[in-house]
Amino acid sequence: MIKNFQNRIYTSIFLVVIGFFCILINPWIFTLTLIPVLFVCYQEWCKINIKYFKKSNKNILSGYTYIKIFGFIYILLVFITATLLRGTSLEQALFFTFIIIICIFSDVGGYLFGKIFRGPKLTKISPNKTISGTIGSFALSLLPIFIINIKSFYFFNFPVSVKNILFCILVSFVCQSGDLFISYFKR
């Protein structure tokens, strides 16, 4: 577990630094970086699903075509949402970065709590997901809001309030739901 966790940390730090640079530097840089990343995601989507259709001996042409179209629409929605959330101003870029940070903390919380506390499985869709991981995911998703308020940044204000706590929980819920959704197609 320790070696796997260390590899995740190093990879995550590298990707976070590059990702935040691309988000914050310029909206055009962000868009130009997002396009190849989403293209690779679409290719992975197609690879995952072609394996299923080949294994199940279903009508590969029609079913696989629908799945490819669905994947393209999904990736297109991700692209549109990400570019709209990123926006054109520094404030919008910082807010988008804050959402990404909430997602990172949510993912780390789920991983750590799930590995440390284990417990009953959450669902058969993703066999490594546990109820304790879900609780940890929600709990750690709140940490960024408190960190921002301990270290007051003059250029970014996100006060601790019921509305903002619910926002963090909603972002965590969407992250976990998206993870389960993709896990469903992987398995």
Q: Spell out the SS3 assignment of 18-29.
A: HHHHHHHHCHHH
pLDDT at position 86 is: 94
pLDDT at position 43 is: 92
What is the rounded CA–CA span in Å between residue 1 and residue 15? 21
pTM value?
Answer: 0.82
pLDDT at position 152 is: 64
Average pLDDT of every residue of the chain: 85
Over residues 42-76, the pLDDT tens digits come to: 998 888 877 766 666 555 566 778 888 888 999 99
